[in-house]
Amino acid sequence: MPAKRALVTGAGRRVGRAIALELAGRGFDVAVHCLRSVDAANQTAARIRDLGRNAVVLRADLADGESAGGLPARCREALGGLDVLVNNAAVFEPTGESFDLARWNRTLAINLTAPALLAFHAAPLMTEGGCIVNIGDIAADRPWPSYAVYCVSKAGLTALTKSLAAALAPRIRVNGVAPGVADWPQDYDEEKRQRITARIPAGRPGTPEEVAAAVRFLAEDATYVTGVVLAVDGGRNIAW
């Protein structure tokens, strides 16, 4: 069987790295996207090669439409094709006390417009059976007041996922994964982490590897699933 090829955005660190490694462990060659985290992306690529798979690092600013839209073709050129697109890269910043139009526009550009552009340009390059997985957030349904633009972008990504699933069927499946706590933001202190964990029915935070396993399931095993956003949150969405 020829290798499958995946493009994972924001794959240098954290959840994106776990997704890239999970797919590589299942026989995928992986295009590791990054912008500034070049060293981390190269480390991810090296670990993929240690698993016996091919890897390439692709830099692109997802806030720039031309740069984002060109990624699928660059992946196909580097790896010989494209079977799975994982839109993982995102900006997670507080809205702030005053409306910052530049921050609002950049967050929407990276978190929502870029996944749309990537899907639009990737779909014609994929063979039948291709798959797109968008990484959302449970905050799309229960938004945080201090992260309005982030939550808006993830709610839009949920709608985009379902719209693309209908538009690209039956040739390409489109699904999403909505993590709860998968990897703590660095500015969350221990008290805040414990307070959040206390509201998770599973009794613990999740891990990047658990999100990655869900992505792999949707990309490889869930051949009769499309238009679904799978919550990987330890039940937090039912016990907010």
SS3 of residue 96 by DSSP? coil
In eight-state DSSP terms, residue 97 is S
CA-angle at 15, arms to 13 and 20, nearest 5°:
80
The active-site residue out of 147, 150, 188, 224 is 150
**Eight-state DSSP code of residue 3:** P
Q: Is the peptide bond before 170 cis (omega within 30 degrees of 0)?
A: yes
Distance, CA of 94 to CA of 149 (rounded, Å)? 8
Is 150 part of the annotated catalytic residue set?
A: yes
Q: DSSP states of 36-90 as a string?
A: S-HHHHHHHHHHHHHTT--EEEEE--TTSHHHHHTHHHHHHHHHS---EEEE---
Pairing, β 84-87 against β 130-135: parallel
Question: What amino acid positions are annotated as catalytic residues?
Answer: 150
